[in-house]
Every structure is written in structure tokens, then in C-alpha cells.
Structure 1
């Protein structure tokens, strides 16, 4: 049944979307850019896109409703100069940086997609990606709410945010990440999927044996995404969101 949910009704998604390979220097700028894309697609459905980005420096990124005190070892972050930020989507807290590919899918939210509900929508989004990843990294499965795993070890976390007329899907893929940093900066999560069975970060997560180029190509293929030579970044809106939200102590508390 789960496999059926992941594979049927794929005609509800755009036939093709724009591919955007665009990384900004800091975490708050990149998070603001993603929300700017969501607001853009909310008003302009033809701007649907898949974006790839990666941080140059390590940062902890909280899910929208995560508790900073519960999820993060703040003392370790301060000692290493690792800053803590909050994204607009749900899901758990992650450590991002070199070797952690971030991808963002932003598509129009139609009435038909809304009727699917969040679990089925998530499964369909991930199902498209899983189909393209399997020839590269092996027997990828969807576990928990929205994890991608190989052999019960997680390599990808995913989360979403809905606006009135658009959907933003955040995903991360570990492919060459300094894994010990996860257990250094993060406490055991307050919410855990059953399949984790209490495993610590070092026993639970893994890097997939794939290059960044292989991963971006697979995800782009899943969404029929081609680069738009005329793409104009929503720079003004990004700067405003970064200034008024993603760089503020109130948002990141």
C-alpha cells in the first residue's frame, strides 16, 4: 500500500521544473532564499523549481518547532564557532556543511495535491527521488515520517512547509560529511522514529557512496529539471527575509 501511495497520481506534479544550483555564503541567506522561492511560486506557479545548495561552513539548523535547549549541545557549538539557525519547514534538527547536499523542491499546491494529505504527499515526493537514487546508492527505502535509509541507516532527512498556493520540500543528503560532528553538536532527538530503536547518531546515520554530481543529477532527473538560463534570483526578497527573520535572535531562539 505504501508503495502504491508513492507511485500513483504522479501527473499531479508539474511536467518539468527549473533547476537552480545556487549556494549563498551563509545559512540564514540560504534559508531566506528558499522561503523567497516559496513565496515566488505561490504567486507564479510557472516558477516551480528544484534547488541545490551546500554550506561552506558547518551550522546547526533547527526545524521550525524544535526546541533549541532540548535538541542542541549549545556549549559544543560555541566552542567550535558553529552557529545555530532555524528554518521555516518542520522536521528535525540537522547539522549542515560541506558534504551535506541540501535540496529544495518548490511546486504549486493544487487542490488535488492538498487532498492527498501530508503523509501521502511526502511519500510521493520522496518516491520520485528514491526511484532515481536506487541505481546509484542501492536499496533506498522510506522510513519513519520522511527519512531515506539504506540498510536501516539514515542518510537523508526531509521536511515541508505549505503556503496557500505552493509547497516547499526541504531535503538533506549526507554524502561526504564529517559524521562525528552530528553527535558533537546534537543531543539525542526528543522525537525518534521506531526504526531507530534508540541508536546514537554514530550508529544511526551514514554517508551514501555517491558524488554530489550523481545526487544532483538523479534528483533533477526525478523532476525533469533543466537549468533556466534566464533565472533571476529573488535577491531583494531574500535580503529582506534574512534581515527581518533568519538573522534575528527572536527567530533563531
Structure 2
């Protein structure tokens, strides 16, 4: 049972980093650095990412998730991130919010996937209150039956990461780079991308209003302190293994060739 924050003597500190059009691979590297080399709580908000990039979970299989012929033809970067979860394509219409927290940062919250997902669903429920039929559906954020926010998590011994890509807007053509996953949430009901997804801008008046609501909700759980990204980059010399990586063209071509051989 979560202990109401109003009964806490003081709120835990969280460091907030605001980014704009920050490349998603750089963001993932920053997240992993903060997760593995610091002991504080962090929130990273990145408004848009360039260039358009396909991002896969740590155990995702390329041929099953990515239309490799199209991705290779159009030189779309493919990144494998350090966390689990599904495959997305992100661009300047995507808003990213990442929480990196110690396991005791939220009183009463057990550091396991479903409790974390439930708690973040409550936090974002405050953000989207009055902006449509917001729901936590399985591991997605949705308005009604249509998804607008995808989530992934990574949990270590003492810390956890929950990161979300919100579809403020998206280019329908970009969805052609993604295959329909074999393993999908039940509520998707075999719908294609266009029938399954919606745009957050259809429910929230502006990106700035979303940011204001996010800061308000975050401030009800944490004492928020703004930190510049530049000051974080060189903060720690602690060695760590950075596992998020850009897949090489050779890796994509080999996966594509293997796929065609199997089909043949």
C-alpha cells in the first residue's frame, strides 16, 4: 500500500533535465549513465528527437519487428536500447519522459514491473485528467482503446528506470517501417497501426500545457530541482558498460538477407 505523500515530512529530491530535439541514442546513453553511475533520482524530458529512428527493446528480433527492406532503402537508423519493451519509431513529434529512481524513492512502491507501471499510470492520470478517457491498458497509455504512449523498464538491484515515448504527433508513413508484432497487447485486437494509435495533440491543447501538467504531477511526488545536461555529462568517472547501441548497416543487411533466405 502506497503511503500518501501528504503524510511525508518531506518529498524526495528528483533532478530534472529538460532537452529539446535530442537524438534518442544520446538520450539512452545519458539514461544509462545516470542509472549506473549516480545514486540520485532523475527525470529526463526530451521534446522531440532527430533524426527519425527505430528503437527496439534489448531482446527484440529484427526480422520480426522491422521492415528491413524499407529501413535499408531509406537509411533509417535502428537503435537497440538497454531496456525491455517493444519497438517504436520516434521523431520530432515524440515527447520522451524518463524516470530513474532509487527503489525507496516512492514510499510503499515495490520495485517490480507491475507496481511501477501502476504507479506511473496514476501519476500520468493526474497529467491527463480532463483530457479524454485516459487509461493504463496493460503496459500502454491510451485514450479509450487507442494507444498514445509506449513504455519500457529496466530494474537493477537498487534502482529502476521507466521511460515513455508519447506520440504528440506522428507521420503515418513512418509506421510502414514497423511490422505488426507477433506478441501484442490483447486490447490491440489485431488492429493495424493507424487503427490502434492516436495522437496526443488531439486531446491536449499544446505541448507546453502537457509540460506544465507534468511538472505539477511530478511536484506532488518529488521536490524538483532543474539540472543542465551539460553539467551531468562529465559528472562521474565511474566506469560502466553502455549497452544501448546503433545497429550497423551490415547487421541490418545480414538480418534482411537471413529473412529472405528463410522465406525462400
Q: TM-score range by the shorter chain?
A: 0.7 to 0.9
Residue 233 of structure 2 aligns with which residue?
234
Pairing 1:119-130 to 2, within 5 Å after superposition: 119-130=114-125
Residue 201 of structure 1 aligns with which residue?
193
CA distance in 1, matches of 2:111, 2:224: 27
Deviation of 1:40 (Å): 3.6
Pairing 1:48-197 to 2, within 5 Å after superposition: 48-53=41-46, 54-110=48-104, 115=110, 117-135=112-130, 137-144=131-138, 146-182=139-175, 184-197=176-189
* Aligned: 1:32 with 2:29: yes
Residue 18 of structure 1 aligns with which residue?
15
- Of residues 199-208 and 171-180 in structure 1, the stretch that sits farther from structure 2 once superposed is 171-180
Give deviations 1:71-94, integer Å, cap 9, x for gaps: 000111122221100111111000
Contact 2:167 2:198 in 1 (8 A): yes
TM-score scaled by structure 2?
0.79
Q: 1:230 to 1:74 in 2, by over 3 A?
A: closer
Give deviations 1:126-146, integer Å, cap 9, x for gaps: 2111222123x31200002x1
Deviation of 1:219 (Å): 2.2
User: Which stretches in structure 2 are left out of the alignment for 5+ residues?
Assistant: 256-264
Contact 2:78 2:247 in 1 (8 A): no
Q: How many residues align?
A: 239
CA distance in 1, matches of 2:100, 2:90: 20
Deviation of 1:247 (Å): 3.9
Higher helix share: 1
Q: 1:66 to 1:114 in 2, by over 3 A?
A: farther
The higher radius of gyration belongs to 2
Moved over 6 A (4+): 240-244, 250-253
Give deviations 1:39-74, integer Å, cap 9, x for gaps: 244xx23xx121111212100000111111100001
CA distance in 2, matches of 1:15, 1:139: 30
Contact 2:80 2:247 in 1 (8 A): no
CA distance in 2, matches of 1:218, 1:241: 34
CA distance in 2, matches of 1:92, 1:105: 18
- Of residues 81-90 and 173-182 in structure 1, the stretch that sits farther from structure 2 once superposed is 173-182
The alignment yields a C-alpha RMSD, in angstroms, of 3.1
Contact 2:77 2:246 in 1 (8 A): no
